[in-house]
A = this chain, B = another copy of it.
Amino acid sequence: MVKRAVILAGGEGKRLGELTKDTPKALIKVAGRRILYRNLKLLQDAGVEEFVIVVNKRFKEKIEEFLRQSGFDATLVENPHPERENGYSLYLARGHVKGEFAVLMSDHLYEKAFIEEALKGKGLIIDKLGLYIDKTEATKVKCENGRIKEIGKGLTNYDGFDTGFFVLDEGIFEVAERLLQEKEQLTMSELAKEAQLSCTEVSGKFWMDVDTPEDVKRAKKYIIQLAVKVAGDGWVTKLINRKVSKVLSYYLVDYLTPNQATWLTFFIGLFSALVAYFSPPLGGILLQINSMLDGIDGEIARARMQTTKFGAWLDSVLDRYVDFAFLTALAFHLKPSWDFMPWVFLAIFGTPMVSYSTERFKGAYCEDAYIVIKELRFLLGKRDERIFLIMIFTLFGWIKELFVFLAIITNVRVALTIYLVWKRKGKE
């Protein structure tokens, strides 16, 4: 496994205008996190232990300050001649790395899956699809027998795009030294071609370079998109809720922490309950809106690389209180006779029990109930579905029917959960 990485941040980043006047490109914030933070964190999570960052002299102090604040440990190597290009920057890392090491550009963003796969490769990582980049602007690579033959922006016959991510060894410094004896400037492309690096394909994953203010916006959009994908979403969440939360997360990711988003959603949920007491249909609509907002905290957390177990725990506990407050408000709106009250109690109690039975499963087995017992995914009664149906029932004024429906569906679901868990895991 590759344990070292060199990040080339020696450039000047002129095209970003105002954004990089006082700040190197590596320190630009995209979706609430600096590019350098994202790359260091992803590499670290993938097993990289030592970092070398080649920096433009002008920005060295800024980078040092960033490292201090973010708690990453890295060796800084100053590049006194940024105009000599990034191949020269890499050459300056000589003596600071040994064995195999990754090399990446400080203005490139990559998703987790890309980094994990790329670190297993060798030479230059190329992408055949380039789903997220401007293909006309991108550097293309032509390979032959698994090695680079041609590299450049103007190639028309090519095998993939240069992702700016390399896995190299110390041999590269000798090639660089030879080339630098002949010429002043050296780009990574020239160096890669001359060294006849291997081509490794990692296609279809998110990566892009950030060159212009428009790129920053585009990158943010993609990062939010990736943060929206969650295994185990119910169908209402997939078809409706995520469509809305995605848009809001895009605007909120720079301003809200995930936990702030959780509390905000909670208070909107309580407000929907208050409204439901006076007007169930209006409350129902607000609750469905709240359900749409419910995904935002998780999306922001993933996009900002700030997911915590605490956040997931808090979100669950508060969701139960919103459900409770809403149904209690409906009960007070209805004020039924005691003959009808069993349905009210069963609905109010059964609702958290759906969650309790599956969460307690995780507590017992340290595994996700929805992964171990797949049938649970197809059983009606998950929160997103319940809330959507609550809205429908309240819009039609079917409050009594709603309580009967919830009382049955939630408690039957718990009974079925007991049966399914017993069938699958009864002996453990």
Contact = CB atoms under 8 A, between A and B. Distances in A.
Contact of A349 (B348, B426, B428): B348
B310 A428 contact: yes
Given A349-B324, A356-B317, A360-B359, A310 B341 contact: no
Interface in A331-357: 331-332, 335, 338, 341-342, 345, 348-349, 352-353, 355-357
Interface stretch (A139-147, A223-231, A398-406, A414-422): A414-422
Contacts of A310: 364, 421-422, 425-428
Nearest to A342: B328
Secondary structure class of chain A's binding surface, majority of residues: helix
B328 A332 contact: no
A365 interface: yes
Contacts of A422: 310, 314
Number of this chain's copies in the assembly equals 2
B338 A335 contact: yes
A361 interface: yes
Interface residues of A, number: 42
A365 B332 contact: no
Contacts of A316: 360
Which residue among A348, A360, A425 has the maximum number of chain B CB atoms within 10 Å of its CB? A360
Contact of A338 (B324, B332, B426): B332
Given A320-B356, A356-B320, A313 B349 contact: no
A328 B345 contact: yes
B355 A356 contact: yes
B331 A345 contact: yes
A36 to B, nearest CB: 21
A345 to B, nearest CB: 5
Interface in A118-136: none
Contacts of A331: 341, 345
A331 B328 CA distance: 15
A1 interface: no
A309 B428 contact: yes
A239 interface: no
A74 interface: no
Given A308-B426, A332-B341, A317 B414 contact: yes
Contact of A357 (B317, B357, B365, B366): B317
A312 interface: yes
Interface in A209-248: none
A364 B425 contact: no
19 contacts: A309-B364, A309-B365, A310-B422, A313-B363, A313-B364, A313-B421, A317-B353, A317-B357, A324-B345, A328-B342, A331-B341, A331-B345, A335-B338, A349-B349, A352-B353, A352-B356, A360-B363, A361-B363, A366-B366
7 closest Cβ pairs, A-B complex = A362-B363, A313-B364, A309-B364, A359-B363, A359-B360, A366-B366, A324-B349
Interface of A: 308-310, 312-314, 316-317, 320-321, 324, 328, 331-332, 335, 338, 341-342, 345, 348-349, 352-353, 355-357, 359-366, 414, 418, 421-422, 425-428
